[in-house]
Amino acid sequence: MRFENVNIALVPRKGLNCVDLAIMFYGRFLIPVLKLWALFAIPACTLVYLLSYYFLTDLRAVITVAYFFSSPLGVLLTWSTALFTFGNETGFRSLRSQFNPKLIPLILRCLFDRALFFIGPALILFSGNVLVLAGLIYLFFPGIWLAVRNGFRVEQSSLRFVGVASQEGSSHDHRTKDLISHDFGGLFARGFWTFFFCYVVTLVLFITFDYLSYKLLDFPILIGQIPFLFEMNNLDESLTNILLLMTTDPRVLTVLTGFILLVYPIGRLAWFFTYIDLRVRLDCWDMELRMTEVAQNLNSRGASS
């Protein structure tokens, strides 16, 4: 890696700056990201529709399917982002070239990490009253601890592949774990607010798409299926119908799954830029990479002379 080829400045960034940069990055590579999104959103939406239509599953199916399908989506997205960030690629790779067999173990490991974390939410969503408390306890510990501790696994693997995370004589993986322990509270806060931001954006996009679909295409998803929605006398009944459709209607659940996966790349990219901020802000990573490059150049000149 040559430092002048880095496409994104290695500077400290606050949480909002990471989200802002993620949105800009999403917009710049909109078409490749949408292709990657479609690769996972189409089977995920199909699965949700079939489960809700034939097996009468509810909103819990959306949460589960979107949660696990977003894992390989995040791996491929982060991998391509890392290659572009450090100048190994001039842009996003095509879908065919993104599927490197070396990524399969990483994808499986990330799915395993997610399965470990999902034990808590699964107990809350699918168990009886007795195990809900156990699920809540597991969600906070060790669930959140595992999520933050293993949250940068893809970043570390991708940057190790790029050649900037495993410099000779240093252990960046252990250093990253130390930095996570040092700034655990800050990382948790950033992750929470990024999740909340993506949650709000998902709802806004879903409602906007639903309204436009009903008004322009006469294709009701949610709003069009609720009579007298905007009449104050029927407000309670309308809210009841909204909750019922949001949790059981196959069409609503399918579209909602698609929008969850559509907004997810913003949060995943913001988390990648959070990793860069963590390394630069607490570890002076930019200076280390510069000095490493200078040392390599001096060694190569000495060897050639």
For the stretch 57-86, pLDDT in tens is: 999 999 999 999 999 999 999 999 998 988
Contact 167, 92 (CB under 8 A): no
Q: Which stretches of 29-149 are DSSP H helices?
A: 30-54, 59-85, 95-98, 103-126, 129-138, 144-149
Q: Tokens 């000149």 sit at which residue?
A: 301
The predicted pLDDT at position 130 comes to: 79
Question: If you ran DSSP here, which 8-state letter would residue 277 be given?
Answer: H
Q: Does 142 sit behind a cis peptide bond, omega within 30 degrees of 0 on the bond before it?
A: yes
pLDDT band at 169 (very low <50, low <70, confident <90, very high): very low
Cα-Cα-Cα-Cα dihedral sign, residues 32, 36, 37, 41 = positive
Q: Tokens 């034990």 sit at which residue?
A: 119
The predicted pLDDT at position 6 comes to: 83
- For a pLDDT cut of 70, what percent of the chain falls above it? 85
pLDDT digits (tens, 9 = 90+) for 288-298: 677 766 666 66
Q: Which helix (H) or strand (E) holds 195?
A: helix 184-216
List the chain domain ranges.
3-297
The two three-digit tokens of residue 90, written as one number = 């001039």
The predicted pLDDT at position 302 comes to: 65
> Using N-to-C axis directions, what is the helix angle for 103-126 and 59-85, rounded to 10°?
150
In this structure, the number of other CB atoms found within 10 A of the CB of residue 80 comes to 22
pLDDT digits (tens, 9 = 90+) for 225-283: 887 666 667 667 777 888 888 889 999 999 999 999 999 999 999 999 999 999 898 88
Residue with the bigger pLDDT between 87 and 70: it is 70
The predicted pLDDT at position 1 comes to: 52
The predicted pLDDT at position 10 comes to: 87
- For a pLDDT cut of 90, what percent of the chain falls above it? 60
The residues, ordered by sequence, that sit 6+ positions from 178 with a Cβ below 8 Å of its Cβ are none
In whole angstroms, what is the distance from residue 201 CA to residue 211 CA?
Answer: 15
In whole angstroms, what is the distance from residue 26 CA to residue 128 CA?
Answer: 40
Whether residue 52 has pLDDT greater than 50: yes
The two three-digit tokens of residue 231, written as one number = 């009449």
DSSP string computed for 255-291: HHHHHHHHHHHHHHHHHHHHHHHHHHHHH-HHHHHHH
Question: If you ran DSSP here, which 8-state letter would residue 233 be given?
Answer: G
The mean-pLDDT minimum among 157-161, 188-192, 213-217 falls in 157-161
In whole angstroms, what is the distance from residue 224 CA to residue 51 CA?
Answer: 23
Cα-Cα-Cα-Cα dihedral sign, residues 275, 280, 284, 290 = positive
Phi/psi region, residue 163 (left: phi>0; alpha: psi -120 to 50; beta: rest), is left
